[in-house]
Homo-oligomer: A and B are copies of this chain.
Amino acid sequence: MHGVRAVFPGRFQPFHLGHLGVVKYVLEKVDEIVIVVGSSQESHTYQNPFTAGERIFMIKESLREEGISMDRVYIIPIPDVLMNSVWVYHVRMYCPPFSMVVARNPLVLRLFKEAGYELLVPPPISREVYSSTNIRRKMIFGEEWKSLVPGKVYQILKEIRGEERLREIARGETYGEER
Contact = CB atoms under 8 A, between A and B. Distances in A.
B10 A83 contact: no
Q: Interface centre among A10, A52, A96, by most B CB within 10 Å?
A: A96
A84 B43 contact: yes
A57 B96 contact: yes
A51 B131 contact: no
A175 B155 CA distance: 27
Given A10-B179, A70-B70, A71-B69, A155 B1 contact: yes
A75 B90 CA distance: 18
Contact of A69 (B9, B40, B70): B70
Contacts of A96: 53-54, 56-57, 60
A112 B131 CA distance: 31
A97 interface: yes
